Structure 1
Amino acid sequence: MKHFKTAALAATIAISGVSAQAQDEANYVLATASTGGTYYPVGVALATLVKVKLQPGEKIGMSAISSAGSGENVRLIREGEAQFGIMQGLYGFYAASGTGPLEEVGPQENLRSVTMLWQNVEHFLVASDAATTGTMEDMVALKGEGAAMGRQNSGTIGSNATILSGFGIDIESDYELMFGGYGPSAEALQNGQVKSAGIPAGVPVGAISQLMASAGDSVTLLNFTDEQMAQADGDRGLWTPYTISAGTYPGQDADVQTIAQPNFLATSADVSEEHVYLLTKTVYENLPFLQAIHPATKVMAIENAIAGLPLPLHPGAARYYAEVGIDIPERLIAQ
C-alpha cells in the first residue's frame, strides 16, 4: 500500500509542478453555514488560525462567511465564489456521485477533501405536548404541522429530508415548512410557530442551548431506537449511533440516543497544492488553538483525519498525511 501511495503522490506532485516559491499571496474564502450552528464558529476559528500562523510569513489569508450550509457551499466552490467549505458527509456523497440535490448538475469532479472535522449530531426536537414516545415516532406523527427543517438549499434541510425519507416522510408535502437558520428555527419552536425542528450540528449547539434554557421542559429532544437508526441511514453507511450525554443542554437530565454523520473540510482542486499542504499542516500542529475556540473540534486528531472522507484528497493534504505516516487508500487519491 505504501509503495502505491508514494508513487501515486509523486506522480500527482510532478504533474502539478507547484512550489512554495511560485505562489502568490492569497486570500481565501471559507463558506460555513448559519451563525447559530457549529460550522460558522469553527470556520471562524480556522480562518483565525490561518491569519495568525500563515498570513505573516506565507501571505496566506482566509475569511469565513456564513452561508445556507453544505448545499450552497458546493455551489459556491463550483462557481469560484469560495475556495473552501465545511460540508456534511452526505453532501460529499452527493457531490461524488452526482445524486440527490446535485443530480441536475452531476458529479462535482473539481471538489476535493482536506480533512475530517467533527461529527454532525442530529438534534430533532418537538413541542413536549407532542412527545408521546420521546422517539422519532413523535416526529413522524406530526404530519400536517409546522416544522423548521433549515434554510432552503442548505445542508440542514437536505440531511433532514434524507433522514425522514427513511420513515416515509416527504418534508415538503407532509409538513408546513418554516425556512430559517438554527436561531430562527429554535425561536419558531419556542413561540409555537412550528411543532418540530431538525438542527444537525456539533455538540453543544448554541441555538439549542439557548432554546432549552429559555423554553424549559416545553420542548423535548428526541431519541432514536436501534430500528429507527437503521431506517434513517438507509444503508448509506453515513450515520452512526451517538449519545448526547445528560447535562449537555440545560434541563437535560438523561442521555439522548441519536445519530451523527461526519463533517469535513472541502476545497477546489484549483487551489494551490502548497497552500493546502500548509493549511493542513498548520491545523494539525495547532489543534489546541482550535479546541480552545469550539468544543466540537476536541474530537479532531491526526489518526482520524481521513476517516469517512467522501471525496478524493486534495494533493496538498495528501502530501502532508503521507509525511506523517498515514496510509491513504486508493479511493482517496485524486486521479
Structure 2
Amino acid sequence: MERKRPSRFLGGLTAAILLLLTLWFGLVPAPEEQRSTYILATATTGGTFYPVGVAIATLSKQVLEPREGVSLAAISSAGSEENLRLLRSGEAGFAILQGLYGAWAWRGSGRLEAQAPFTELRSVTALWPNVEHFLIRAELAEQGSLSDLASTPGLRFSIGARYSGTEGSNRFLLEALGLDPDRDFELVYQGYGASADAFQNQRIDGMNTPAGVPVAAVTRALAAAGDQARLLSVSASERALIDARIPGLWRPYTIAAGTYPGQQEPVQTIAQVNFLAATASVPEEHVYQLLVMLYEHLDFLQAFHAATRAMTLPSATDGLPVPLHPGAVRFYREQGLELPDALIPSPREVDDGPLD
C-alpha cells in the first residue's frame, strides 16, 4: 500500500510552524542524513488531531532531532480507525487516537471485533478531552438530558461522517442508553461543519460533535439558532449506563456557562480522552525523550492550539485505555506520578523495581 503523502496544506502549515519555532527557540533542523523519523498519523485537516499533530511533529524536528536525532512527521488520515491500521502495519510509529478506539483495539471489540486484540499498542500521554456536545432543537428538550433523544421517534440526527470515529463513538453512546441508532433515528452522515449548516437550515433536529472545547461547529450552530437550540446534559444515571460498558473511559466534564452563544448555564456532559499512542516496538529512549520535549515545551503547544491547554503533567495518564509505553513509565515515575497497575506493561518491557 502506498504511504499517504503530506498535503500542500500540511507543507504550508509545517513551514509556518518551523518559522515560529526558529524564532521561539533559535534552533534549526539537523542535516537530512542524520534524521530518524517516525510517522505520526492524525486525522482530516478540518479537525483538531491534524493541527496538533503537525505542531508536535514540527516541535520534534526543531527540539528533539538536534538533540537526539529523532523526529516525527505528521500525516493526515481518516482518523482513529485508519490510524490503528497504520500502527498495526508498521507504516506509523505514533498516532493520535480516541480513547474508545484504543480500548476497542486493545480488546478486539466493538467496531474492531473482527481484528485480533492489538497487544502491541501503548499509551504515551493523554492530550485533551474529547467532549460530547449533544445539541437538539429547544422544543424537543423536555428534560434537557440525553433522555430527550428517545422522546421523538424518527429524530433527524447527524451521527457523524460515515465510518468516522465520531460515528463509532456516537453509536456506542446511543446503544449504551438502550437506543438503536438505525431504528430510532433518521440518521444523517455528515461532518461537523456540514452538520452545523444542516441544523441551521432545519434539515436535522440534532447532532453530536465530540471535540475539544470550544467546537467551532457548535459555536456556529448556536449563534444561528439562538434560543431555539439546546445543549443536552448527561445525567448521573445516563453516565452510569455508559460507564458500565467500558468503566472509567468517559468522565464528567462541565462546559462552563458562556462557552457558546446563548449558553447561560453550565452544561454537565462527559468526555473521553484523546491520546498519543505508539507501538511497543518504538525504543524506550525515543518515547522518553519525546515526553521530555513535550512537557518542557508545553507552553508552545498551548499557544499554538487551544485544545492542548487541557494538557498538564498531573493529568497525563487520566483515562488512558491501554498500558503505557516503557519510555512513558520511566518518564512519569521520574516526575513522581503514581501509576495504576492497569497502565504498567509486562515486566519484560519495564523494570517494576524501586527507583533510585
Aligned length: 313
Counterpart Cα distance in 1 of 2:342 and 2:42:
26
For residues 120-165 of structure 1, give each alpha carbon's deviation from its aligned partner in whole angstroms, at most 9, with x where no partner exists.
1111011233333322122223442332112233221121111111
Tell me: CA distance 1:328–1:273, structure 2 relative to 1, closer, same or farther (3 Å): same
Q: What does 1:10-25 correspond to in 2, within 5 Å? A: 25=35
Tell me: CA distance 1:39–1:166, structure 2 relative to 1, closer, same or farther (3 Å): same
Residue of 282, 297, 306 corresponding to 1:286: 297
Structure 2 counterpart SS, 1:73: helix
Counterpart Cα distance in 2 of 1:233 and 1:154:
22
For residues 268-325 of structure 1, give each alpha carbon's deviation from its aligned partner in whole angstroms, at most 9, with x where no partner exists.
2222333222211101111111111222222222222222322121222222223333
Counterpart Cα distance in 1 of 2:227 and 2:132:
19
Residue of 117, 136, 140 corresponding to 2:146: 136
8 A Cα contact 2:272 2:319, kept in partner:
no
For residues 149-189 of structure 1, give each alpha carbon's deviation from its aligned partner in whole angstroms, at most 9, with x where no partner exists.
12233221121111111221122333232223222222222
Counterpart Cα distance in 1 of 2:44 and 2:227:
26
Tell me: CA distance 1:188–1:26, structure 2 relative to 1, closer, same or farther (3 Å): farther
Residue of 70, 76, 80 corresponding to 2:80: 70
Structure 1 counterpart SS, 2:227: helix
Deviates more, 1:287-296 or 1:317-326: 317-326
The equivalent of 1:309 in structure 2 is 320
- Alignment of 1:296 with 2:284, yes or no, is no
Counterpart Cα distance in 2 of 1:84 and 1:207:
28
Structure 2 counterpart SS, 1:173: helix
Listed as ranges, the gaps of 5+ residues in structure 2 are 1-32, 347-356
Residue of 139, 157, 161 corresponding to 2:171: 161
8 A Cα contact 1:163 1:233, kept in partner:
no
The equivalent of 2:21 in structure 1 is none
Q: TM-score, normalised by structure 2?
A: 0.80
The equivalent of 2:285 in structure 1 is 274
The equivalent of 1:261 in structure 2 is 272
Q: Report the alpha carbon displacement of residue 36 of structure 1 after superposing the two structures with TM.
A: 4.1
Residue of 42, 61, 66 corresponding to 1:32: 42
8 A Cα contact 2:139 2:228, kept in partner:
yes
Q: TM-score, normalised by structure 1?
A: 0.85
8 A Cα contact 1:36 1:207, kept in partner:
no
8 A Cα contact 1:240 1:261, kept in partner:
yes
The equivalent of 1:184 in structure 2 is 194
Counterpart Cα distance in 1 of 2:192 and 2:282:
31
- The residue identity in structure 1 corresponding to 2:190 is G
The equivalent of 2:336 in structure 1 is 325
Moved over 4 A (4+): none
Q: Report the alpha carbon displacement of residue 80 of structure 1 after superposing the two structures with TM.
A: 2.8
For residues 93-120 of structure 1, give each alpha carbon's deviation from its aligned partner in whole angstroms, at most 9, with x where no partner exists.
2122111111110210121110112221
- The residue identity in structure 2 corresponding to 1:74 is L
Tell me: CA distance 1:262–1:199, structure 2 relative to 1, closer, same or farther (3 Å): same
Residue of 247, 255, 270 corresponding to 2:258: 247
- The residue identity in structure 1 corresponding to 2:206 is S
Tell me: CA distance 1:181–1:286, structure 2 relative to 1, closer, same or farther (3 Å): same
- Alignment of 1:214 with 2:197, yes or no, is no
- The residue identity in structure 1 corresponding to 2:186 is E
